Amino acid sequence: MDTAAPIKPDLLIVDDDPLITDTLDFVLGRDFSVHVAESRAQVKSLLRQLETPPELALVDLGLPPTPHRPDEGFRLINELLALSPGIKILVLSGQNDEDNARHARALGAIEFVAKPCEPQRLKELLLKARTITAAERVAQGVEPGIVGSGPAIAKLKQQIRQYADSPFPVLIEGESGSGKELVALSLHRQSPRAVKPYLALNCAAISPSLVEATLFGHAKGAFTGANTARPGYFEDARDGTLFLDEIGELPLELQAKLLRVLENGEYQRVGETQSRHSQARVIAATNRDLRHEVKAGGFRADLYHRLSVFTVNVPPLRDLGDDKIKLLAHFADFYAAQSGAARFTLDSRAEQLWMDYAFPGNVRELRNIVIRLTTKHAGESVNSEQLLAELDPEQGQDGFPDALPGVDHRSTVEAAKRQLLTARNFRLDETLGRMERSYVEAALALTSGNLSQAAKLLGVHRTTLYSRMQSYGTVTDRSALDQ
């Protein structure tokens, strides 16, 4: 009879208050294998000691060295998702300003929980997040799932079909959260190697001192702790596909060794002199501009050119047009079925708000919004105000344009020079504020007060324009958003 205890999922708790971390470790340790850190630096050190990234994370926003601001917490969310795109992050923070909560969710956190919170409530949320992860893994194993049929997605699918059969490397470029991993998996599944191994390695998730051994394997006794010989990813991938995510994080000294494998298939285990041979096809991905990295000396030019034999650019969600609605339907159906709840819908005004939103966190943000709406509004018709509560007020991409249509930028600069030379008590913020308000009022006058049309004329989102108008005291009724 097997009496072994079930394996607990790894949970990372990041908070600089030892009373909170000790309490959560004690309460949640019964169901999770808890790892505790109090800063971003400690998180990096801790993750390098773990064989695999944690499945779940509970993160405070106010972390050292700026515990009274959310900046460190926001950076940590980005870093955790770069290390492990599948990690489910819950934010537990006393900095529970609504804008902070919405921005954390836009970055990729699945939920924001204000302090104080009952540990039992946290346990329920974490266990629910784990069921979502399990369902996503099952779905990924069955269907590549690149959803959409618009021009940008059609081009992406055409490139995948075109490059899938080739043995040469592919470099996938795109913003964080745009779905680069899904493109890599699709390239493998549509290739003759589909029945062969598919291995994925995040280069940012491994300590630089261990990357070589992880990629190429090591001999027994090659370094402290190498008690047995082990193969690396190239050996395990055999003649299948090896996906190297965050390739821009690969240390310079290892880039030459990777180049050698790409050129002739040869590599050596750490601590061995015997050459081995790999027939694995390499697919790499990055959200960095590797051309810029090459110019700055951070990435080898010869490796870049070898990796980018074929290049696929994954479009950001803001450029997908009507496919935003198709993605909404896809994920709404999936998570409703997974939770056993009725599907929510958007009313016409909420649907327009959805189409207008820039989705700075791309598909990852969209998916998390759908998860929250499924939980909060199962079987309901979601209105624009309910949807707005889930969106990032900063928009990530929106803001007032650098130059408005019809304005001669050069003449404006010359006028500004004259004003600065003659002004005695010039204040930039006040001047810009007056200019901004005058353009807003002009746009509203030209559109007879129609908020949507005025926003289009100014090149901003309606919610951005609405917040500006609120700051002027021009509007107090949120129903203006529905114009």
Q: Indicate the average pLDDT of the chain.
A: 84
According to the model, what pLDDT value does residue 313 have?
95
Lowest mean pLDDT among 6-10, 24-28, 354-358, 441-445: 441-445
pLDDT of 406 above 60: no
According to the model, what pLDDT value does residue 1 have?
47
Closest CA relative to residue 397, chosen from 454, 356, 366, 436: 356
According to the model, what pLDDT value does residue 3 have?
53
According to the model, what pLDDT value does residue 476 have?
46
pLDDT of 168 above 90: yes
Mean of pLDDT values over 104-127: 88
What is the chain's length? 483
Burial tier of 308 (Cβ tally within 10 Å: 0-12, 13-18, 19+)? middle
According to the model, what pLDDT value does residue 431 have?
63
Closest CA relative to residue 406, chosen from 459, 471, 480: 459
Out of 77-86, 100-109, 301-310, the most confident range is 301-310
According to the model, what pLDDT value does residue 38 have?
94
Q: How far apart are CA 319 and CA 331, in angstroms?
A: 19
Strands 33-37 vs 10-14: parallel, antiparallel or unpaired: parallel
According to the model, what pLDDT value does residue 430 have?
64
pLDDT band for position 394 (cuts 50, 70, 90): low
Higher pLDDT, 76 or 465: 76
pLDDT of 404 above 50: no
Count CB-CB contacts under 10 A for residue 390. Answer: 20
- Alpha carbon distances (Å) from 155 to 110, 116, 339, 406: 30, 48, 33, 34
According to the model, what pLDDT value does residue 373 have?
95
pLDDT of 400 above 50: no
Cβ atoms of residues 364 and 85 within 8 Å: yes
pLDDT band for position 405 (cuts 50, 70, 90): very low
According to the model, what pLDDT value does residue 475 have?
57
According to the model, what pLDDT value does residue 420 have?
52
Mean of pLDDT values over 165-179: 94
pLDDT band for position 411 (cuts 50, 70, 90): very low
List, in order of start, the domains of the chain with CATH numbers.
Answer: 10-142 (3.40.50.2300), 151-313 (3.40.50.300), 320-388 (1.10.8.60), 409-482 (1.10.10.60)
Out of 39-48, 166-175, 420-429, 448-457, the most confident range is 166-175
pLDDT of 266 above 50: yes
The pTM assigned to this predicted structure is: 0.71
According to the model, what pLDDT value does residue 348 have?
93
pLDDT band for position 322 (cuts 50, 70, 90): very high
Mean of pLDDT values over 105-129: 88
Mean of pLDDT values over 403-412: 44
Convert the pLDDT of each residue in 222-245 to its tens digit. Answer: 887 778 999 999 999 999 999 999
Mean of pLDDT values over 268-274: 91
Higher pLDDT, 398 or 85: 85
Higher pLDDT, 480 or 45: 45
